[in-house]
Structure formats: structure tokens, C-alpha cells
Structure 1
Amino acid sequence: MKTRAVMFTEKQKAEVVNQDVADPGPGEALVETEISLVSTGTECYCYRGEFDEGTNWINWVRYPFAPGYSSVGRVVAVGPTEGQATVEVGQRVFAGWRHCGHAVRSVDLLTPVPDDLTAEQASWSALSYITQSAVRQGRHVMGGTAVVIGLGPVGQLVTRYLGVLGLREVMAVDTVGGRLEMAARHGATATFEGSAADAKPFVLEHTDGELADVVYDATGHFSVLPLALPLPRPHGRVVLLGDSPHPTRQHLTGDLLTRQINIVGTHNASMPPEHAWWTAPRQIRLFYRYLQQGKIRIDDLISHRHDPEDAPTVYESLFKDRSGTLGVLFDWRS
């Protein structure tokens, strides 16, 4: 059978193409996509196509490149299996596949979605474990303080998790007022509209002059690290969860040595030994549970919904300016 798929055929060019889809083999399932979430930061970097040599980006992004990693759909066929199948036809599942209408995936990579959650909610599953992995490595304690720089989709989820943890102060820093208003409704106790370069007085004000325990750089932009380093207290932490395509342009400041700041890099679901039990599927299931309990709400994070056929104009628009977006979806059901 044939299916539609979004493809970056070359640098800064997106197309919708037709691809062949094989029948599912043993241990595989054919999934018909309902919703796929655009990871606006990552996918815009992939679309732009400019990376430092020797980076993960150089090895990963090769044109033609299939973007996307957070889709939800229904199982429409299951390959031959010995014993009872772990997924059933008609079941809604999440897996990290691309923006395409159908995909064959190993059943081991599929996470069943509870019946009381929507495809739109489940489409955040990949970002849910990426951000959850970062928050776990923040090593927070009750009554602690944190700063989140960059309130795009990633920063919004980090803020929600920090709100669940019960921190005393969750401070959000961004240049876009609308994103700060969203963060204030979902976990942020204080917001600062402006550059992180000017945020130190704000952080001092909300931490009794002590600065923050943990600062999250959720921007993925090389210029932010030196702006984040002055904001944690002595022996505090800066958590990098945005993968800059230009790490050679990131610079340290004297804070690293003189105030003994710890910098922690996090990437996808890779976890240190003390957190190894929290695999991606376990973190996704916890995310679903928080949604069911009402501890986290994400429906209002969806700012744009598009037909996949509009992908060329969607990516060009995001490339030019994504500041007015948060959750951008492709709806494959239309």
C-alpha cells in the first residue's frame, strides 16, 4: 500500500511524498496515524540544515530527511505472532515515528494509550519523557527553586512537571509574553519577559537573594548558556535540554569555577544509573497518569492544527518565526 509522508527533500524544502508501506512481519504492527506533533525547535533546525561539524546533527540529518518523532494512531493490522499479541487491532498507540500516514513498527516500541485520553494529548508523549528525564536530573527537593529559560513546548512541559513536584518558586523567563502567560497558568509562580541576560535581579527577588537551585536552558540556542550560568546559587545546577546545532559557539563564564556551578546535559530518554529504572515507556505512562489525574493539563498548549498537505508552508512559516506557536499538530484524519 501507499501512504503520505512529510519529507525534507533538501535543505529548507519540505514536500509531501507517497511511500510504500510493507505488511507487518512477525512482532510488528501496522499503525494508521491520527495525529503527529511537530517538535518545532528540533525540526526547524533539521529544516534549516546548518550544523557544526562533529555533532549529532551532522550524523542524523541527511537529506532527504524524514522529520518527526511523536505520532499517535490506531493499530490496523498485526503481523504473525506466537502466543497472545501485545497490541490489538483498533487500539490507539504511541510510538516515535515520523510524520506519515501509516507506519510499520515493532510492537515493543508501541505504548498503548488509555481510552480516556485523546490522540492530541498522547502526541506529546515523546516530549513528555524528554522533559521528564531532564527534570529528574535536576535533583529537586521539596521547597526548592528553579528557573526555566525558554517557554516553547519543551519549557512548558518542564514547568508543568516542576509544578507537580511542589517547588517553592518556579520562575519562567522568555521574550514572548503569550508563552509566559501560558506558563503562569500551569506551574510558574513568577514570570520575566525579556532576555535571560537581564533576569538576575528578577531571580534574586524571588529567591530571597539566594538565586535558584536549578536553571533549565530549554532554548537549544548556543547564546543562552552564558546567560544561564549566573542565575543558579553557588553549587547550583544548569540543566541543558535543548541540543544546540552549534555547540562550538557555546561559552562558559567564570561562574562555573568560582561559584562551582554544575552543568548537566540531558538527551532524549538516556538516564544515569540512579534513574535507569525510569525508561521512556515508564515515563510516558506516568505522563498519562498525570493527565488522567488532572495534575498536568496540556490541551491549551495546542496552538495550531494543519492538514499534512500544508507541510511545505507550515515549515517555511515556522522557519521564519515560530514565536507565536506552541503545539503544532498535523491531523492525518482529514
Structure 2
Amino acid sequence: MKQLMVTGAKQAEFQEISTPECAVDGVLVRARVTAISTGTELRVFRAIPVDDQGKFLHERVPFVLPAENGYSMVGDVIETGAQAGEFEVGDRVFLPAAHCQVAEMDASRVTLLPDSVPDEDAAFLSILEVAHRALRDGGPPPGGNVVIVGQGVIGLSALAYCVAFGYRTAVVDL
């Protein structure tokens, strides 16, 4: 199977790797679509570390190339482990997986998708989660004031959450 790997600064290629085995508590998923983050993934593609010492590509991920990239996949379950719970072969799911043809993931990290959500929208769930967590962690009171800095994908996602939950919101961009 093929997986997209960042091989150097501004260099990426599809590499042939072994198809993963399905763990007893996991699912094996064939990708339909993956989303590309213009923040984290673009920084990894450019080989820009997140720390001043140049040791980390992302949080606790060491700066070592080649590196896999990606964390938002929509696909179809093609195999389930004996302890994978509710999932069945053929289910359409979201999972935080890299850009590859087939991914293996612990079933607890996989989300069954309703038919009403298009693949291309569902692929943004990891990115939307950033805005959702920021709003929850910030803990504004009901009807409170929220300022969002940045009008990128995450900022606009935060704005959509704020509108949906009735916050008074200002958005600024630098």
C-alpha cells in the first residue's frame, strides 16, 4: 500500500509500505478521503520544528525525516478485531490517521459517520475539534463574549460554534 511521507523540507512522496495488521481491539480502514491541515501539516512539510531546539515536529513527535503526515481520514472499515465493539465491515468512519491507503486504529478512536455527512466535510473533524476544544477550555459563560484571533479554518470553525451556542463574538485577523 502507499503512504504519503515527508522526506525533506518541501519534499514529499508516496512510499510503498506494508499493509497494517488489524489489532484485536482495532479496525482496518481503507481511505476514501483525507484532509490536509494548513497549519500542522504544512509546517511538517516545510520541516519547521515547533520548539526552539529543533527537536520536535509536533508536540511529542521527534524531528526525524522521513515522517508520516496527516491526521484526518474518512474511509470504509475492511476488517474488525474480535474486540472492536460496534464496528462492522462496510461501515463508513472517521479516524485520526495519516495520509495512506489503509490505516489501523484502536476502535475507541474511530467514529461511525451518519450518511447525511459528506466525506469531504467529515474529513475536517480533527481540525474542527481544535476550535471546539478551545471554546470548551476557555469556558465562556452562556451568552458571554468571545474574541477569536485568526480567520483561518480553525478561527472560522470557532466562529460557527460561537454562533450556534449564542456567544457574542468578535473575530480579528492580523
* Same-fold call, TM cutoff 0.5: yes
Q: Report the structure, 1 or 2, having the larger helix content.
A: 1
Q: Aligned residue for 1:27?
A: 25
Measured in 1, the distance between the counterparts of 2:151 and 2:30 equals 31
Q: What is the match of residue 118 of structure 1?
A: 118
Percentage identity across paired residues of the two chains? 29
Structure 1 position 16 matched with structure 2 position 14: yes
| SS of 2:78 mapped into structure 1 | strand
2:140 is the counterpart of 1:130: no
Which residue is 1:97 aligned to?
Answer: 97
Residue 56 of structure 1: how far off its partner (Å): 4.9
| Native 8 Å contact 1:5 1:17 kept in 2 | yes
Q: Which residue of 2 aligns with 1:146?
A: 146
The offset of 1:66, in angstroms, is 0.6
Question: Could you tell me whether the CA contact under 8 Å between 2:20 and 2:102 is conserved in 1?
Answer: no
- Give the residue type in structure 1 aligned to 2:57: W
Alignment partners' CA distance in 2, 1:55 and 1:157:
30
> So what's the TM-score if we normalise by structure 2?
0.88
Q: Is residue 95–residue 111 contact of structure 2 (8 Å, CA) maintained in 1?
A: yes
**1:1-334 equivalences in 2 (<5 Å):** 3-51=1-49, 52-53=52-53, 56-57=56-57, 59-60=60-61, 61-79=63-81, 81=82, 85-168=85-168, 170-174=169-173, 195=174
Cα pair distance change 1:164/1:108, threshold 3 Å: same
1:137 aligns to what SS in structure 2?
A: helix
Cα displacement string for residues 88-107 of structure 1 (whole angstroms, at most 9, x for unaligned residues)? 00001111110111112222
Q: What code does the residue aligned with 1:18 have? A: E
C-alpha contact 1:11 1:63 (8 A) present in aligned 2: no
Relative to structure 1, the CA distance from residue 9 to residue 57 in structure 2 (aligned partners, 3 Å threshold; closer, same or farther) is closer
Which residues of structure 2 form unaligned runs of 5+?
A: none
Taking structure 1 as reference, are residues 56 and 63 closer, same or farther at Cα in structure 2, changes over 3 Å only?
closer
Change (3 A) 1:173 1:11: same
The AA in structure 2 aligned to 1:155 is G
Q: What SS class does the counterpart of residue 40 from structure 1 fall into?
A: coil
For 1:41 and 1:110, how far apart are their aligned partners in 2? 23
Residue type matched to 1:68 in 2? G
Q: Which residue identity lines up with residue 101 of structure 1 in the other structure? A: Q
Specify whether residues 62 and 54 from structure 1 end up closer, same or farther in structure 2 by C-alpha distance, changes over 3 A only.
closer
* RCO higher in structure (CA 8 A, sep ≥6): 2
Say whether the 8 Å CA contact 2:41–2:69 is kept in structure 1.
yes
- C-alpha RMSD of the superposition: 2.0
Q: Deviations 1:193-231 (Å, cap 9, x if unpaired)?
A: xx3xxxxxxxxxxxxxxxxxxxxxxxxxxxxxxxxxxxx
Deviation track 1:20-76 (CA, whole Å, cap 9, x = no partner) reads 103323222210001111111111111222331177537514211111101110001
Task: Report the structure, 1 or 2, having the larger strand content.
Answer: 2
Cα gap change, 1:167 to 1:25, in 2 (>3 Å): closer
Distance 1:143 1:24 in 2: 46
Secondary structure of the structure 2 residue equivalent to 1:57: strand
Q: Provide the C-alpha distance between the structure 2 equivalents of 1:92 and 1:152, rounded to a whole number of angstroms.
A: 28
Deviations 1:95-141 (A, max 9, x none): 11101111122222211111221211211111222211110122212
Amino acid across the alignment from 1:167: Y
How many residue pairs align between the two structures? 170
Residue 72 of structure 1 aligns to a residue whose secondary structure is: strand
The amino acid of 2:75's aligned partner reads G
Paired AA for residue 161 in structure 2: Y
For 1:154 and 1:86, the matched residues in 2 are separated by 31
Question: For 1:166 and 1:123, how far apart are their aligned partners in 2?
Answer: 26
